[in-house]
Amino acid sequence: MDGSTIYALGTPAPTLVRPGALAVIRLSGPRAADALVFLTERRAFERGYSARDPALPPPRHMALRTILDPVTGEVIDRGLVVWFEAPRSETGESMAELHLHGGRAVVNGTLAAIQKLGFCRLAEPGEFTRRAFEHNKLDLTQAEAIADLVAAETDQQRRQALQQMDGALHRLYEEWRTLGLRALAHLEAAIDFPDEDLPVGIADEVRTEITHLRSEIAAHLEDRRGERLREGLSIAIIGPPNAGKSSLLNLLAQREAAIVSETAGTTRDVIEVHLDLGGWPVVLADTAGLRATSDVIEQEGVRRAQARAEAADLRLLVLDATTDWRAEMTELTARGTRWDPTHDIVVVNKVDVAPIDAAPVDAVDVVPLSARSGSGLPELLVRLQHSAGLLMEQGAGAPPLTRVRHREALIEAVAALDRALHAPEVALAAEDLRLAMRAIGRITGTVRIDELLDVIFRDFCIGK
Ligand SMILES: Nc1nc2c(c(=O)[nH]1)N(C=O)[C@@H](CNc1ccc(C(=O)N[C@@H](CCC(=O)O)C(=O)O)cc1)CN2
Ligand SMILES: Nc1nc2c(ncn2[C@@H]2O[C@H](COP(=O)(O)OP(=O)(O)OP(=O)(O)O)[C@@H](O)[C@H]2O)c(=O)[nH]1
Ligand SMILES: [Mg+2]
């Protein structure tokens, strides 16, 4: 950190067409209070400023002030201001906030006025949060949770981000580090005070500790719910050509996202729409109808459809009630594509023209639907939410893994623990255990790597 005082607009930049009602500018750093006084008190420059200056409201109390250009004295706005005295602030530094009217001229005029002070600079993306990290207000998993909270589009994403912001992952990973460091201390004791009567290699009780730690981390790595929740549950709509897959996508998306036509083989590319399914974020993909074809472009479409069906968390098989859909269903669910009967769903479409008997087929439930009239949609939504819940629901247990960055570090930790368990010498086991703990420490930031911090905070928005 460079001891500078930084500033940024914390609300969206006002545009000509869309000014905000309000705009908030935040400052952080040793001269935040100076800036606030110089921006609100005409004679501050002349009389010399002190922390007792009446222009400065008591910490954490909002006050109404006239915002002035510090050089010309011109009035820019009349707004509310707050001062947070270090270390009781979001960043742990002295901070000031200006709550302004949201117009372009007001915001740009105030930003220019702050620049004119000569002792503040524009914040880089994520720099406020980074300073909070530097002042131990939060660890890296909590900083990442702030970015997730800002990006959260559904209730469930918000809940997960809040849990992580509250330190759930921080506590879990620090607990593992503590366990590992304890085992390491035992190993080091064995190196320092070798027991001549004992065989070389790690003692049984340390082995048990490491094995236990390894299995906890491995179980955490198995769990994909947290990542799914951040990225969205991937649902693939698949089925034979002309069954109404694109019609169903449009119905669920409530817009004409995909082209619908009576020609079989209309959809070739994968078409994605993002939905909020009762709090679960979903990426719904329409795909090309699955059939053997000599059309090269359609063949590529079928290949993409199959790849998406394979990769998806959940498949929605759409069949055409006016055809021999039972045979089609047996064929597609039994072979051809990946099929998971616990949460994948079969939809039989066009029941407006060909009503069906909705009894299960080969013990698989079918959902009758008319994408045209919308009948059957409520039942389908219930089924979809149920399946999403099965795939995503998190119990009261340990918090789930949420990021590839964490996953990669934990995979590295497990590999190092495995090496430690098989090490021929205690000293080598200790070194591997140390590497495992370093990998976990990188997740929380306890083990600090500057390049990593740059990468993490670069993805934040400016002003966060
Ligand atoms: N106006 C405004 N609203 C905002 C923010 C902000 O910076 N300004 N936030 C920006 O992220 C979020 C709130 N986050 C905050 C986190 C910590 C502190 C803070 O003052 N912490 C002190 C005191 C804690 C206490 O009194 O309990 C500290 O940690 O020492 C303030 C805001 C959302 N809303
Ligand atoms: N009667 C009736 N027709 C429907 C229904 N849903 C879709 N259709 C019609 O079926 C035809 C095919 O619909 P699409 O949604 O394009 O079918 P698709 O499965 O995406 O077809 P491909 O992209 O070619 O694989 C269109 O003419 C639709 O209007 C329905 O519920 N009832
Ligand atoms: Mg289609």
Alpha helices by DSSP H, 193-345: 204-222, 225-231, 245-253, 296-311, 325-334
pLDDT digits (tens, 9 = 90+) for 322-354: 999 999 998 888 766 789 989 999 999 999 999
Ligand 2 contact, 400 CB (< 6 A): no
pLDDT values of the chain reduced to their tens digit, one per residue, 464 residues = 678 999 999 999 998 888 899 999 999 999 999 999 999 987 666 655 555 566 789 999 999 999 999 989 999 999 999 999 999 999 999 999 999 999 999 999 999 999 999 999 999 999 999 999 999 999 999 999 999 999 999 999 999 999 999 999 999 999 999 999 999 998 988 787 766 665 556 788 899 999 999 999 999 999 999 999 999 999 999 999 999 999 999 999 999 999 999 999 999 999 999 999 999 999 999 999 999 999 999 999 999 999 999 999 999 999 999 999 999 998 888 766 789 989 999 999 999 999 999 899 888 899 999 999 999 999 999 999 999 999 988 777 889 999 999 999 999 999 999 999 999 999 999 999 999 999 999 999 999 999 999 999 998 988 99
- What CATH class has 5-123? alpha beta
Would the CB of 83 count as within 6 Å of ligand 1? no
Most ligand 1 atoms within 8 A of CB, residue of 26, 62, 88, 90 to mutate: 90
pLDDT score for 17: 82
For ligand 2, whether the C-beta of 265 sits within 6 Å is yes
- Asked if residue 26 belongs to a known ligand binding site, the reply is yes
The reply, when asked if residue 244 is annotated as ligand binding, is: yes
Q: Please count the other Cβ atoms lying within 10 Å of the Cβ belonging to residue 308.
A: 22
Position 44 scores a pLDDT of: 63
> What distance in Å separates the CA atoms of residue 370 and residue 350, rounded to the nearest whole number?
5
Peptide bond into 399 cis (omega under 30): no
pLDDT given for residue 52 in this prediction: 57
Q: How many residues does the chain have?
A: 464
What pLDDT score does 21 carry?
Answer: 94
Question: Probe ligand 2: pick from 238, 245, 246, 247, max atoms within 8 Å of CB?
Answer: 247
Say if domain 141-223+401-457 classifies as CATH 1.20.1250.20. no
Tokens standing for 337? 């594509």
Residue 243 assigned as binding residue: yes
Q: Where are the domains of the chain?
A: 5-123, 141-223+401-457, 229-393
User: How far is 12 from 115, CA to CA, in rounded Å?
Assistant: 19
Cα–Cα distance measured from residue 195 to residue 121, given in angstroms and rounded to the nearest whole number: 61
First to last CA, the chain: 16
> Annotation-wise, does 263 bind a ligand?
yes
Q: Name 93's Cβ contacts closer than 8 Å, sequence gap at least 6.
A: 28, 29, 30, 32, 86, 87, 131, 135
Structure tokens at 264: 């079989």
Neighbouring C-beta atoms of residue 111, cutoff 10 Å: 18
Residue 265 CA: nearest ligand 2 atom is 24
Question: Which ligand 1 atom is at minimum distance from the Cα of 84?
Answer: 20
Ligand 1 within 6 A of 88 CB?
yes
Residue 95, SS3? strand
Annotated binding residue 387: no
Q: Give 101's strand partners.
A: 22
Quote the ipTM score: 0.87
Q: Which residue has the tokens 């993909």?
A: 285
Binding site membership of 371 for ligand 2 (Cβ less than 6 Å): yes
86 CA to middle of ligand 1, Å? 12
**Strand partners of residue 100:** 23
Q: CA-CA distance, 411 to 457, in Å (whole number)? A: 23
Contact 110, 423 (CB under 8 A): no
Q: Does domain 229-393 have CATH number 3.30.9.10?
A: no
Query: How far apart are the CA of 89 and the centre of ligand 1, in A?
Result: 6
At 127-144, the pLDDT tens digits run 999 999 999 999 999 999
Ligand 1: which residue has its CA nearest to atom 9?
90
Closest approach atom of ligand 2 to CA 249: 15
Q: Which two tokens stand for residue 28?
A: 């952080």
Determine if ligand 2 sits within 6 Å of the CB of residue 354.
Answer: no
Provide the whole-model pTM.
0.88
Location of structure tokens 């990593």: 452
CA-to-CA distance for 275 and 227, rounded, in angstroms?
A: 17
Residue with tokens 């080969």: 362
Unique residue bearing structure tokens 């300073």: 131
* CA of 75 relative to ligand 1 center, distance in Å: 28
Read off φ and ψ for residue 26, nearest 5 degrees.
-115, 145
Whole-number Å distance, alpha carbon 260 to ligand 3 midpoint, is 6
- Tell me whether residue 322 is annotated as binding: no
Write the CA distances from 101 to 62, 67, 68, 81, 105, integer angstroms.
15, 11, 14, 12, 10
DSSP state of 425: S
**Cα(202)–Cα(214) distance, integer angstroms:** 16
